[in-house]
Amino acid sequence: ALLYGVIAGKLAGANKMVVTQHGSISKESKKMRFGLKRVLGAVNKTVAVSKDIEEYIKDTYKINGNKLELIINGIDEEIYKKDEGKRKEGRKKLGLEDKFVIGHVARLSPEKDQKTLIEAFSKVAKEIGKARLVIVGDGPLRDSLKLQDKVLFLGARNDIPELMNMFDIFVLSSVREGTSLTLLEAMATELPIVATNVGGNPDVVRDGVNGLLVPPGNPDILAEKMAYLYKNPELRDKMGKAGRKRVVEEFSLSRMAESYAKIYREI
């Protein structure tokens, strides 16, 4: 999108352009890196959505100074918020009234590493009989994931605010990540987080404050932290409230929109 978008912009006569880099770009080929370096050098401003991506762009493409800006993603905290009515209704529909529900919303792709998540959950399920894992999303790994009887796969959905309210905790098992919107949505819904310590995740999740950070690709530690939150309901509540507060103060949609508008006005 970055390469084709900038070329199309130039052909269309756009003399001012802003590009945003959302995800990890560490897997590019040498040819792609060469092409993107030319592209990024030709635009007025490159926006990174996480500190990790910002540093990568600086180091790899030598883009910095007034041509590079950091704007962390934001969400509408009025759409994503705790609602006991939605929680009861949603859990009843899926037969989860008395269950401990671990939620995961993401594209089913290698960088999200659902394989490790499912392996970790199998360990949790042996210890906690009422634990359930709910996976929401679709993608290329859909048919290869080995689901168990306590794992509910809901596929692609457009009712994420309602589904977030069903969960007791939210887990993100990515091996690469920018600034995850689903993490912010879960935090706004007052869910405690267990997330891998990669990419933009530590910019969003403060370990021990609104969630727990774990190393990527480690099902044992991931299982341990999920079970730990199950055993500590007061901590879950405290972390959930801290997460909501952080989203409202630092990751609002209005804050993000104004940051982009400021760039557009400047150029």
φ, ψ for residue 68, nearest 5 deg: -130, 135
- Angle separating helix axes 30-42 and 2-11, nearest 10 degrees: 40
Which residue(s) pair with 170 in the sheet?
103, 193
Which amino acid, residue 135? I
Instruction: Fill in the amino acid letter for 126.
Output: K
What is the pLDDT tens value at each position of the chain, 267 positions in all? 888 888 899 899 998 999 998 865 555 678 887 888 888 888 999 999 888 889 888 988 888 889 999 999 899 999 999 999 999 999 999 999 999 999 999 999 999 999 999 999 999 999 999 999 999 999 998 888 877 789 999 999 999 999 999 999 999 999 998 889 999 999 999 999 999 999 889 999 999 999 999 999 999 999 999 999 999 999 999 999 999 999 999 999 999 999 999 999 999
Dihedral sign computed on CA atoms, order 236, 237, 242, 247: positive
Alpha carbon distance 40, 63 (integer Å):
7
Burial of 163 (0-12, 13-18, 19+ CB in 10 A): buried
Burial of 244 by CB count in 10 Å (0-12 exposed, 13-18 middle, 19+ buried)?
A: buried
Q: Cα torsion at 95, 97, 103, 107 (round to 10°)? A: 30
The predicted structure's pLDDT at residue 53: 87
pLDDT at 24: 55
Task: Please report, for residues 19, 87, 94, 112, 120, the alpha-carbon distance to residue 138 in angstroms, rounded to integers and kept in the order given.
Answer: 27, 23, 19, 11, 20
